[in-house]
Each structure stands twice: as C-alpha cells, then as structure tokens.
Amino acid sequence: MVPAAGRGERLGPGAPKALRELGGVPLLVHAVRALARSRAVGLVVVAAPAEGVAEVIALLDSHGLDGKDIRVVAGGDTRQESVRLGLAAIPAEVGIVLVHDAARPLVPVEVVDAVAAAVRAGAEAVVPAVPLADTVKLVEPQSGGRPEPVLDTPDRSALRAVQTPQGFRRDVLAAAHERALTEPVAVTDDAGLVERFGGRVVVVPGHEEAFKVTRPLDLVLAEAVLARRRA
C-alpha cells in the first residue's frame, strides 16, 4: 500500500508531492513501479489526495501499469489515516502488507524483496534501515533560534535511519492502526505503532537509494541517481 496523499509542504509550493515529477514521471509512478517490479507484490493500493483520486487513476493508467492489480482510494489528513484507509481497501485474504512512501521513488527491488521475504519467514514487522552518517544529539528544543542545550549523544553504531517499504503481518498492522484511533501515539512510521503497542519489529538492510524526497535538495539528488541509472 502506498500512502501518497501528503501535500509535500517541505518540498515547497506546487502540486502534491506524489505528483511532482522526477525525470518527467511523477514520484508516485516511480514508487508504484518499484513495488510492482517485485514478484512478491500482487496488488498495489494507493491512497491519493482526497481531491485527486480521479487524476491519480488516470495517471497510473496512462503510465501503463495495468500489468498489476492497482486500486486507488482517497487518503486522509495524516499519513497514519491514509495508511488506515488504504489497508481497509485490501481484500481480506491478503495476509502480508508492505507500506511504501510514494516519496521514496527509487527504492531498489532488492529491498522490497528482502522485506517481503523477512515477513514470509515469520517476522510480524520488518523495516529496512541504514546506518547513520551524522552523529545525533538529543537536545532540549528552544524557541527563536536560541542555542539548544545537549542532553545526550546516543551511540551512533546502534542507530539506524528507517526507510520503506515496511512489511507486516496484515493482522498485526491493522490491529495497531485500530488501536491508535483510541490511543494516539506520536510516531512517524507504521512500525513505530506496532512497536508502541508491544509488537516485535526487526530491521533488514535498506539502501541509500531508498531515501525519501522531502526537501528540494532531495529532488536534485534523485534526478542525479536516475540519470546515473539511465546512463
């Protein structure tokens, strides 16, 4: 399932981020293609911006993605809501779900395969992740750009930057999203929900090209990666 209903405020003014282009093709089309390339994926459900459902259906059609079963639903106001709405559109007999950000257009198929394989092998929640390049500090946030006191420096060797697709046993992911409706938790990914409610999440190797297009510089990098792949 592909959450694609965000506005992309950090990328700056323009169309919703999933519809912004990379190499002349919308980010969403890249992301859906990246998933569809995996033999583990049989159905892709996209959560589109609520006012853009018809446009997204037409877009996916026009890019010849009809080989796989693709469905489009209206997303919600938050990523969590978009994922919950997307999950509800997945047929009951589907037992394993991967959740992949439309904003990660260049994820290699090997990552998709590895996540799916780890769930198939018995894990209830799997996230791809990479080691950090930067040292990370826990600070006490201050307003108005004042210097922020450092509270701690976690051991970098035990930290990972988490990517998508994240893979789940469908029942575990659906239960976590249901529970979050009445017990809100401040997490920014699906595995975070599972973890908060006592589930066991494991990490498999991610890939540097699975980075998320968040700010304008990320789009510059994505164009360069795509150009290198096409060379």
Binding site residues, ligand CTP, CB under 6 A:
3-10, 17-18, 47, 75-79, 82, 101-103, 212, 214
**Beta pairing partners, 71:** 45
Tokens of 34: 């990246």
CB of 200 to Mg ion, least distance (A): 27
CB of 47 to ligand CTP, least distance (A): 5
Write each residue from 2 to 21 as x if it is in contact with Mg ion (CB under 5 A), else as -, in one continuous string.
----x---------------
Residues sharing a CB contact under 8 Å with residue 175, sequence separation 6 or more, in sequence order: 197
Closer Cβ to Mg ion, 5 or 194, answer by number: 5
C-alpha torsion 187→34→104→89, nearest 10: -40
Q: Which does 3 bind (CB under 5 to 8 A by kind): ligand CTP, Mg ion, none?
A: ligand CTP
User: Under a CB-based contact definition with an 8 Å cutoff, are residues 161 and 130 in contact?
Assistant: yes
Q: Which does 103 bind (CB under 5 to 8 A by kind): Mg ion, ligand CTP, none?
A: ligand CTP
CA distance 56 to 143: 40
Nearest position to ligand CTP, beta carbon: 6
Residues sharing a CB contact under 8 Å with residue 26, sequence separation 6 or more, in sequence order: 18, 19, 20, 59
Tokens of 101: 């950000």
Closer Cβ to Mg ion, 6 or 52, answer by number: 6
CB of 147 to ligand CTP, least distance (A): 26
Give, as ranges, the residues between 35 and 64 that touch Mg ion (CB under 5 A).
Answer: none
Residues sharing a CB contact under 8 Å with residue 181, sequence separation 6 or more, in sequence order: 84
CB of 198 to ligand CTP, least distance (A): 25
Residues binding Mg ion (CB under 5 A): 6
